[in-house]
Amino acid sequence: MTGNQMEALIGMLVTFGLLVLMVLPSAIGIVRERRIDRQLREAREDRREGERPRPTQKSSDRSTVPSTATWYAEGRRSKKLVSS
């Protein structure tokens, strides 16, 4: 090999090395994203397999305690009735 051929070979290797360094983070990111997607898909499938049909909730099962908003509204209504 002559000196010119050696310089050309070294130049091509350096260029190829820089290209690999530029592409490597993207390739690692793609592999990582695919792994996460696969894990999410498997978890979703496992959840679907483990699901049982839930019984419908009857109105008698619900709590009969009024919420804070209801208490507040009741107090406001009574004040309006008293003042008018």
- Residue 31 belongs to domain spanning: 20-48
Model pTM? 0.46
Helix (H) or strand (E) holding 31: helix 3-50
Buried b (16+ CB within 10 A) or exposed e, 6-15: eeeeeeeeee
In a domain, 64, yes or no: no
Number of independent structural domains in the chain: 1
Q: For residue range 39-62, what is the model confidence (pLDDT) as tens digits?
A: 999 999 988 887 766 666 666 666
Q: Does residue 29 lie in a domain region?
A: yes
Whether residue 34 is contained in a domain is answered as yes
Query: What band does 81 get if pLDDT is binned at 50, 70 and 90?
Result: low
